[in-house]
Every structure is written in C-alpha cells, then in structure tokens.
Chains A and B, each alone.
Chain A
C-alpha cells in the first residue's frame, strides 16, 4: 500500500460521519427502488433517520483537529463539528416532522425527498469544514441544488413549482457572481486555500481589486443567509415550499451560510494552530468591513421586520422573521471578538429550537387545515389549546423575551455590542456599536407586534367554524420537547454555553471567553 493510499484511508476515517450519510443516501434510493410497487414512505424515512443518527453518533465521538486533511481540502476543527452537529439534528427533525405530517405529501413519492434532504445535509456538512474554494463551491452547490428541488417537491402544485423556479434563478445568479469573485481572489494570490487568499488583508496590502473580489464573494453568501439586498427570494420560497422544507431552509441552509461566513471572517486572521480572533478582527476592521456588516445588519433586520408587519400568511411571516434574525446575527459581525462568536453560536442553538418549533406549528396547520393563512387559525384556541400555547411560547422566544431561551440568546448579542461600546481599545467610537444595539432593540419591539398578530388571530378573533385539529402522539411529543427545551434553556442555559465553549476551543489562544451574561 502506497503512502498516499494509507494517508487517504486515514483521512476517510476522519470523515466517517459524512460517509455514513452517503451510505444512507444510497440506502434510501435502494429501499425506494426495492419497494417501488408499494408505498415506501415509511421505510425510507427510517433509513434516513438511522443514517443521520449514525452520523451524529460518530460526530460526538470525534475529537476536533486543527489539521487540514485531504491535501488541505477540509478542516475538521471544533467549529466545523459544532455546525455539523446542529445540521444533522436539524435535518433529523425535518425528516421526522415530514413523516409525522404525511398529509402534505399525500400524492407524492417520498424516496427522492429523503435522499435529497440527505444530500443537502451532506453539502452543509462539507461547507462547514471547507478549507479551499473548490470544496466550498461544490458543497454549497450540493446544498443549493438539493434545496431547489425540495422547494418544488409538490410538483403539481403551482406555488411550489414557482417557489423552486424563483429559488434556482436567484441562487444560480448568486453563485455565479460568487464564483467570479473567487476567480479574482485566486488571481491575486495564486492559491485556492481560503486562508491564503486573505494574505493581502493580513499584510495590509489589500487593493481595490481585493475589495471588489471580496464583495462579489459576499454576494453569494448574502444570498444564502438571506441578508438584504439578496433577501427577495426568501418569503416567496418559504411560502411556496412544502412547510418542512421551509423549516429546513430556515435552519440548516441559513446556518450553513453563516458557518461559511464565520469561517471566512476567521480565516482573515490565521494563526499557527487554529485562528487568531483578535488578529482577524484587526485586519477586517482596518479594511472597514465592520462598517459593511453594520449596514447589512441594520438594513436586514429593519427590512425583515417592517415588511413582516403586513403579512397575513404564517409561513411568509416566518420567512420575513428569519430575514430579521439574520440581521440580529450580523450585529455580532461588527464586533468580531470571541464574545461575539460565542453569542452567535449560542444564538444558533436557540434559533434552531424556536424556529423548528414555530415551523412545526405551521406544518401541523398545513397538514390539517390545508393552509397557513392567519385567518384560518381563528378559533384555534378552542380547537387545540396545546398548539396555541406552544406557538405562543415559540413566538415569545423569537421576540427574545423571558422566560424563554430567546431571551439569553438575544441578550448575549446585545451585550456584545454594549460591551464594545463601553470597552476601551475598540476600533470605533461607542456610538457605532450603541446605535446598532438601539436599532436592534427597536426592531425587537416591532417584531413583538407582528408575532402578536398571530397570537391574536388564534385566540382573540371571532370564528364561525371551529378548525379541526387532531394532534398525533408524535405531534404532542415533538412540540412538547421543543417547548420544554425553549423554556428550560431560558432559565438554565449552562449546557448550551458549555457546548458553545467547546465549539470555540479551536479559536486559538485568544478565545477564552468571559463566561456568563
């Protein structure tokens, strides 16, 4: 056996979770083929969930390494493992939600569905670990291409096929623009390693060309995280897609975009082992990138929240709300210190729970009433108090109020900005950070108003006919679990903090975050 083969086999052990997913993808297709004549829905979901479970089990046993493997293609550090874990849990939740609400897909075969969810998750996993642009682009496209099809999975439904067409046209333009930017970065540095293409930034020799290239690269990522001005597709796609897929896009796809944005930002300050957070922040701030993030954050949350006010469809409203949340997360990118990254990762854990919860309520509504219009929710309070209670808690958490997990999550984000404003030695004046925090607080107040609109429709408005809602045992259990998690983590969030701390451990020596709030 040659040295290269031995090396490759050793590397394959490091990507065992991904290989497990590939195996599951094949198994889903084979099961679907074998049971062609019968309904294979039940079997394929269990194969998919088993594959995801295996991958997760393998991931938890992994020790993060700061070494790059496969000749520098990927880097399985603690940050990558953190994102990979939440992707898998998110995808698993989406698979189970789909299986429990099979009414939405009554007329469709489901083998391809689970296969595509698996390939999208696989794309997201490699994206979180990407260390060179080829893997970045390939994994981003695997995630995107699978998502385009999933968005249009209800293929005789006009709204679903329209959603997928809008998604692919916007998405393909965004990825083309991104590729063009990457080609310039390559031309300037002669390498495809992400970290090395930022050498001009580190050496302070960045030029106009560098900024053009970097801006084009940000266009592609901005599309993925649906930041203004690349957010147009979000509400349409969320509304038209089957609701479990809207949930998948809101959690997995969006956090994959943030994972790569975070990695790009950190790569700007490469240190010998891991990343040097302080150096990254210094280099990026010197180029004024924090101002860019300031503008993006302010615009994204304001646009998301203001347009959400007028919405009457719950899915569409959650789409705008997810734009707003991208804006909140972008706030931390203006500060770029360890505390900021700590807050971002913490926010993601909580965001997963509350967003999946809110979407699960929407999925139940769609499966049982056939619509997610707010007007169809009238009298829901009488029909199913449990559902309404769950929705209220998830919405309180999305607003960021106690006693839910959304409160510490948002507080951490704001605290990062306030600390930056009060702290000394920050590159910008206190008002730079304080103003953004104030915009964020204002936006949270606005969001309270439109979230309350859903609650009002469900509880206060008059109704003629009682909506028929029957929650299955799984519905009760899934909603209950998310409900308990959201409330429990609002009071006792130590476990999440520890989880996030281990994720940040590869951020080099400067990553010791001052714990607590």
Chain B
C-alpha cells in the first residue's frame, strides 16, 4: 500500500479534532495553547500534503512557512499575556479569572 494524500489528510483531521477537544476541555491558558498548536500543525500537514500530491508548485509549502511564523508570534504574545496575567492574579486558571461578568 502506497501512502497517499488521504492518509496525511486523515492525520490532519485527527490532530484538528484533538486540538479542538483540548481547547474546549482544558482549563488553563497553557492547556488551551497546546490545543491551538495542534490545530495549526493540522493545517500545516494538510498544506504540505496538498503541495506534494496536488500542485507541486511550492505555494503550499510557502504558506506553511508563514503559518509557522504566525504560530511563533501567537505563542510569544500568548505566553507574555499569560505571564502578565499570572503576575496580576497569581493563577492562569481561566475560571478563577472572572472579573468580567455579565
């Protein structure tokens, strides 16, 4: 059996679903961030697989490079905000931080 496009897509879909579960179920901000990384990696494996089996024109790989850049930016800002939040609240539990209620 040769490994084809669909195999990679299924891996991407599983990672995406796991990432969503992680974002929904985890309580701490860093836990949610782990879920976000899973989702971004799911998008990337799709892009690269499509590039390899579909177009072969490298645009998918270029997009994947930019996704990695954005992931790095997002992670840096998110962790800065999380640490800032920790300095203010003494916790990163998203349920404890509930000054904003409506």
Binding between chains A and B: yes
Pairwise interchain contact B43-A182, C-beta atoms closer than 8 A: yes
Pairwise interchain contact B77-A180, C-beta atoms closer than 8 A: no
Pairwise interchain contact B84-A161, C-beta atoms closer than 8 A: yes
CB of A446 to closest CB in B, whole Å: 17
Pairwise interchain contact B74-A180, C-beta atoms closer than 8 A: no
CB of B39 to closest CB in A, whole Å: 4
**A152-186 at interface with B (beta carbon < 8 Å):** 152, 155-159, 161-166, 168-169, 172-173, 175-177, 179-180, 182-184, 186
B interface secondary structure, majority: helix
Instruction: Count residues of chain B with CB under 8 A from any CB of chain A.
Output: 47
Interface: A288 (CB within 8 A): no
Q: Which of the residues B44, B74, B97 comes within 8 Å of A145, measured between beta carbons? A: B74
Q: Tell me which of A155, A163, A179 has the highest count of chain B C-beta atoms within 10 A of its own C-beta.
A: A179
Name the A residues within 8 Å of B100 (CB-CB): 159, 162-163, 166, 235-236, 239-240
- Complex Cα spacing A137 to B62, Å: 13
- Complex Cα spacing A134 to B59, Å: 10
Q: A157-B88, A186-B59 are in contact. List 11 more A-B contacts (CB 8 A).
A: A141-B74, A145-B74, A155-B84, A161-B81, A161-B84, A164-B84, A165-B94, A176-B36, A180-B12, A183-B44, A311-B102
Pairwise interchain contact B78-A183, C-beta atoms closer than 8 A: no
Interface residues of B (CB under 8 A from A): 9, 12, 16, 19-20, 23, 29, 32-33, 35-36, 39-40, 42-44, 46-47, 49-50, 54-55, 57, 59-60, 62-63, 66-67, 70, 73-74, 77-78, 80-82, 84-85, 88-89, 94, 97-100, 102
Q: How large is the interface on A (under 10, 10 to 19, 20 to 34, 35 or more residues)?
A: 35 or more
Interface: A316 (CB within 8 A): yes
Name the B residues within 8 Å of A385 (CB-CB): none
Stretch of A187-195, A222-230, A481-489 with 4 or more beta carbons under 8 angstroms from chain B: A187-195
Name the B residues within 8 Å of A307 (CB-CB): 102
Pairwise interchain contact B19-A183, C-beta atoms closer than 8 A: no
Chain A, Cβ-Cβ closest to B63 = A134
Pairwise interchain contact A190-B29, C-beta atoms closer than 8 A: no
Q: Given known contacts A152-B84, A158-B89, A168-B78, is B73 in contact with A145 (CB within 8 Å)?
A: yes
Q: Tell me which of A152, A166, A169 has the highest count of chain B C-beta atoms within 10 A of its own C-beta.
A: A169
Chain A, Cβ-Cβ closest to B64 = A183
Chain B, Cβ-Cβ closest to A176 = B39
Pairwise interchain contact A161-B88, C-beta atoms closer than 8 A: yes
Q: List 14 A-B contacts (CB under 8 A).
A: A134-B66, A149-B77, A152-B84, A164-B84, A166-B100, A168-B77, A172-B74, A175-B74, A179-B40, A183-B43, A183-B44, A186-B60, A187-B54, A307-B102
Pairwise interchain contact B59-A173, C-beta atoms closer than 8 A: no
Q: Given known contacts A179-B67, A180-B16, A236-B100, is B81 in contact with A158 (CB within 8 Å)?
A: no
Interface: A148 (CB within 8 A): yes
Which 7 pairs between the two chains have the least Cβ-Cβ distance? A176-B39, A183-B46, A187-B50, A179-B43, A190-B55, A236-B100, A180-B43
CB of B98 to closest CB in A, whole Å: 8
- Complex Cα spacing A152 to B67, Å: 24
CB of A127 to closest CB in B, whole Å: 14
CB of B66 to closest CB in A, whole Å: 6
Chain A, Cβ-Cβ closest to B36 = A172
Q: Which of the residues B36, B50, B84, B85 comes within 8 Å of A183, measured between beta carbons? A: B50
Name the A residues within 8 Å of B29 (CB-CB): 165, 169
Name the B residues within 8 Å of A33 (CB-CB): none
